[in-house]
Amino acid sequence: MTVKIKHDQKGCIGCGACASVCPDNWVMTEVKGQTKSKPKKTELKDVGCNQEAADACPVSCIKVFEG
């Protein structure tokens, strides 16, 4: 089973919650002068802490799919 991560980086407000609860797969970065997060990997074997990251996101811009 593969887990896919979709991140709407435009919608990301750079709050850091995902990187805080799931540093295994989420890092903060700078995009055009704005703080954003980004996933290290968008396809994983295990969901790991990514569902927690999605649940922690205040603007729901992280989606976790099985596929």
User: Restricting to residues 6-65, which ones interact with ligand SF4 according to CB under 6 A?
Assistant: 12-18, 37, 56-57, 59, 61-62
Q: Which of residues 23 and 43 has its CB atom nearest to ligand SF4 in the complex?
A: 23
Sequence-separated (6 or more) residues with CB below 8 Å from residue 9: 31, 36, 37, 38, 61
Whole-angstrom distance, CA of residue 43 vs CA of residue 14: 22
Nearer to ligand SF4, 2 or 59 (CB): 59
Per CB under 6 A, 5 contacts ligand SF4: no
Torsion angle of the four alpha carbons 12, 13, 15, 18, in this order, in degrees rounded to the nearest 10: -10
Residue indicated by tokens 């927690």: 52
Least spacing, CB of residue 66 vs ligand SF4, in Å: 20
Residues at the interface with ligand SF4 (CB under 6 A): 12-18, 37, 56-57, 59, 61-62
